[in-house]
Each structure stands twice: as C-alpha cells, then as structure tokens.
Structure 1
Amino acid sequence: MKLSYQVTAADAGLTAERIMQKNLGFSRTTIRKLKRLSGVVVNGQAAYLNKRLQEGDQISVNLRFEEYTNVLPQPIPIEIAYEDEHLLIVNKPHNMLVHPLKHEPENTLANAILYHFDNNTEPVFRPLSRLDRNTSGLVVVAKHAHAGFRLAQQLSSGELWREYLAVVGGFLEQESGSIDLPIGRCKDSKVKRMVCPDGRRAITYYQVKQYLADSTLARLRLVTGRTHQIRVHMSHIGHPLVGDALYGGRMEGINRQALHCCRVGMKHPITGNELIIDAPIPEDMRRLILS
C-alpha cells in the first residue's frame, strides 16, 4: 500500500521529511521506521529524507511495515459498516470481546478482523477505541500505522467522536445535560470503576430521546474515553443502564447492559473528508424499547 504526494510550489526547498510531517501528517516515529525500511521514494528512486525537493517532485511512501499481531485469524462473520484501503469500521455484536485474553484467546473481534484482512493489509489489529464485551456497536480500526497515528490524534482532540444509545432506569429529569466527574478503579474490584476525586477526568453529554414506561432512551456522546464511562456516570446520578448488573441496573427485558455505539464521526485519516457512520439499534434493545 502506497501513499503519493506531488511537491507544490509552496513546498519547494523543504526536505522530504519536513513535507511528510507538514502535509502528510507523518509522526516522527513512523518516519524513523520508514528510514530503516527505505520506505520513501522520490521520482521513482530511493531518496535521503533530508534531501531538499523541487516543485513537481513525486513522493511515494510505502505504508506496509511488515508488522503483525500475534492473534489467530478465525472465519467469524463481521458486519462491516465502512471499509477502504486505510480504514475499517465494524458493527460489533454484544457478547464479543474486542481483544483476546490469556484465558480467552479466540472468538474475539481481533480474531475475526485479522481473518478478514487480505494480503495487501498488514496482519495488525489497530482499534482506535474499545467496547465492553456486552456493549454493541461501532469500532474503528486503522489498517496501517500512519492511519492509526492520524486517527489517534483526532481521538485526543475530539475530532473523532462517538455517540451511544442507552436505556437507563427511571426518568432523566433534564432533557439534556453533561456529567463531568472523574473515574477511577474500585479498590475492592479488578473490574469495577467508580466516581472518585483522584480518578481521571471523564465527561459525558446526554440527551433524552424518548421516555419509556419506567425508563429513558438517551443518546450520549463521550468527550473522554474512560473504562465503563457511560455505565459509571449514569449509575452515579441514579440512572444505571437497564441490564447492567455490575452497576445496579435492573435485570429485565435484556440480558446485557442496554448500550450501543450508534454513530462515529471523524475526518478521513488520508483524504481529510468528513466521515460519519451509523449503526442501527440492535434487536434486543429495540424489543426493550417497544416493550
């Protein structure tokens, strides 16, 4: 997989390395890898990255670094929401881990995606965010290190954003609002998180979509991405997710937390075009809403 760029008049006199940083967004780490692998060609010939270029010169960058993830590829069906040569977005079902665990090395999203990748894609699993096992919805995966770096920058700046649908217990009094409360680990649990003064800052925005019989369908957007953030925040304000036994949700009508990542938005890591992808609400949450 290659990325090409033609030097403009404004770039003339700059080095290949500076142009790659300034106009193509390459990180210093990635450029160091490219130096070791001789992965940059100018006008069809190998070139030193400190060479100053002229208008019209053609830079070609090999984006394949021969890296790999030590995970067994498995022919597990996945629902693809978007795919091109740089980026893959999948709609993860509930009851599936994103990453393998030592005691559970198979049947994860990583196993499925590595099997899906063809010979033109490095066998590396680069998710930009994670979902809990029983949270369904969209997961963004970079197909090469440069796309991963660009998307990680967007995740930090908020340009890559995620929206969720959740069914929470009771009625949210305010139709929209924000929760800005730090989250840290519970001292007596390896899994559970809690709001605590010495935790990491966490911000969640919410908006009521529909009041149900004894619960609320809410749309939420994450500003930060702490573990269990939505589950912890909603439980803390007295509205735990339906089906979320870990955080006090009632166990009726659904056998997992009623949480689904329904939309992601970003700038495409290579073209810069705006990209917004939606995933329909899953059937078990639809039944819960209609019950």
Structure 2
Amino acid sequence: MFQYEVIKEGLTVEELLRTKWRLGKKLVHELRMAKAVTLEDGTPVLWNEPLKVGTHLEFTFEIPTSNYLPTMNCDIPIQYEDEHCLIVSKPKGMATHPNDIWDRNTCMNHVMAHIKSNGGKYAEHVHRLDLGTKGLLLVAKHPIAKSIFDRMIEEKTIIRTYEAEVQGIVRQDEGVINEPIGKDRHHATRRVVSKTGQHAVTHFKVVKRLKNTTIVHLVLETGRTHQIRVHMSHIGHPIVGDTMYNARKTAKDNYELHAIQLEFEHPFLNKVVVVKDQGAIH
C-alpha cells in the first residue's frame, strides 16, 4: 500500500496510470478490477473524475512474493530507501542475482534479507551490474514501481554514471561510442563490437589524466553485457587490468569499474533523486 499526492490540477486516475506512469493495459485492468485506488479515507474514486492538487490517492493491492532466498543478514550497504524502491551498493565480486538454485549469496539475496526484516516480501532489481563491477543498484519494492522503472531504463531517463581507470591517455575530453555489441563466437562469456550485435551507446568524459592512464566517467544509454568494457577496449583504452578485453595484467589481476551515481525523477514522490556511492577510484 502507498499514497500518491496529486500535483497537477485536473489529473484523473486514468491519466495518472495510463499517461503519466504509462502502465501496461494488463496492470491497469488489474488495479481497476481490484478497486485498488481510493481517496485517503477509503472513499472510492471515479477514474475519469478530475482531481484537485493536493489530493492523496491510496493504492492498495496484492503484492506477490519474490523468490530470492534471504541471507541471514543483509551485509551490503543501503544508500537510499523509500516505500517504492531502494538503492544498494553492490560489492565487487558479488553477482546481482542468482543464476541457479545454489546461488545464495548474491546481491538480491542480501536485499531480500533486508526486505523481510522490515515485513516486506517483494524486491526486484531494475538493472544489473557485472560480477566485477561494484556500486549502485536500483531495486523496486512493488510491481507498479518495477513496471515504471523498467520503462524509465528503456527510455534512458534513469542516468547511470560509472567511473573507470583506463589504459593510455584519452585525448578527447568527451565523446560518444555508438557501436553494436554481440557475443564472441569464439568465447563463451566475451562480447565484441559486431555489425549484427545489439544497439549500444556509451558517453564518456575525461575526469583526470594520470601518467599512463586516464580516469573517465561514463554514462550508459543502453545496458548491454560488458558494454563499458567492450566500448573502451574498442577505442583503444581498455579498463586497467581487464585482460579479457586486451588490457595488460596488473598486480591485482582484475579491473576496477564503479557505478558511482544514479539520478532520476521519482515517479511517486515528484522529486529528483540523486544518489552517489562512496569510494571512487581516485
């Protein structure tokens, strides 16, 4: 259950669900049949009746149970939380979600421990971070939020910023890499720039030039597997230590890629949310 405060004069429930939130027909139908939307005092609301600014709508509906097995405790930092979503800082080396029934220590298992300890039962990640990537991950706490955040990811209105140290000196202060990415036929997990691959766009901006490397901030328009790693390698600046993508081996024998910021207009709270992760590379 949650509340929504109307901020636009004359908005109807129908317009809120279909036009502002752009929920799918099936979900809208389910909410209508369940009489899920009422006024704050429980009074039924007509879906096509204009509402006054400041009206509080109450949403009450059955929330399904997510099937992630909770860990004993949530051992990952929670950087932001409200009744609709939370943002956690995924550690490096931890998977975003289970890939088989034996996976019990993924980010979503820890998230579910937190959710259950607070009386909840639903949590679904909105995007993913690679195993070797650390940083901010957005998680929806109910199906309406999941539907809206999924669309926002598709429409690129959730701005995801990453930081990486790459080999060599990047001469351009900023740029856009627009190259399709597909699977490498000769390697099970590797990806390559390929004409037959999926559309992929990465924006980069130089933050600092060091002696033999460059610190860059990157913003994803799309979310392809290994996208930043593939794109930076493609322009001749692989992430330091990323030997899968042609970087030199380092003493750490791994790469550093950090999801440092999430920014979006919150669809329920009518405000812009900006969350930054601590511990940048430099």
1:9-46 superposed Cα distances (whole Å, 9 cap, x missing partner):
735xx6x5445434565442322232454423357568
For 1:237 and 1:149, the matched residues in 2 are separated by: 35
Q: Secondary structure at the match of 2:92?
A: coil
From 259, 270, 277, the equivalent of 1:279 is 277
Matched, 1:135 2:120: no
**Contact 1:162–1:261 (CA<8 Å) still a contact in 2?**
yes
Matched, 1:39 2:36: yes
1:232–1:23: structure 2 CA closer, same or farther, 3 Å change rule? closer
Q: Letter of the 1:3 partner, please give it.
A: Q
Q: Letter of the 2:200 partner, please give it.
A: A
Other-structure match for 1:289? none
Q: Which runs of 5+ in 2 are unaligned?
A: none
Q: Letter of the 1:123 partner, please give it.
A: K
- Structure 1 residue 233: Cα displacement: 0.5
1:218-267 superposed Cα distances (whole Å, 9 cap, x missing partner):
11111111111000001111111112121122221434221001111100
**Contact 1:21–1:27 (CA<8 Å) still a contact in 2?**
yes
For 2:137 and 2:30, the matched residues in 1 are separated by: 27
Q: Secondary structure at the match of 1:232?
A: helix
Matched, 1:252 2:247: no
| TM-score, structure 2 normalization | 0.87
Other-structure match for 1:53? 49
**Contact 1:263–1:279 (CA<8 Å) still a contact in 2?**
yes
**Contact 1:92–1:136 (CA<8 Å) still a contact in 2?**
yes
For 1:95 and 1:248, the matched residues in 2 are separated by: 20
1:179-214 superposed Cα distances (whole Å, 9 cap, x missing partner):
111111111233111000011111111111112232
| 1:192-207 equivalence runs, <5 A | 192-207=190-205
1:134-166 superposed Cα distances (whole Å, 9 cap, x missing partner):
100100111111122222222222221111110
Other-structure match for 1:224? 222
Q: Which runs of 5+ in 1 are unaligned?
A: 287-291
- Structure 1 residue 4: Cα displacement: 4.3
For 1:164 and 1:35, the matched residues in 2 are separated by: 40
For 2:253 and 2:102, the matched residues in 1 are separated by: 21
For 1:200 and 1:134, the matched residues in 2 are separated by: 22
Other-structure match for 1:10? 10
**Contact 1:94–1:134 (CA<8 Å) still a contact in 2?**
yes
For 1:77 and 1:253, the matched residues in 2 are separated by: 28
Q: Letter of the 1:106 partner, please give it.
A: R
When the two chains are superposed, the root-mean-square deviation of aligned CA atoms in Å is 2.6
For 1:115 and 1:200, the matched residues in 2 are separated by: 35
| 1:226-241 equivalence runs, <5 A | 226-241=224-239
- Structure 1 residue 93: Cα displacement: 0.9
| TM-score, structure 1 normalization | 0.85
Identity %: 31
Q: Letter of the 2:202 partner, please give it.
A: T
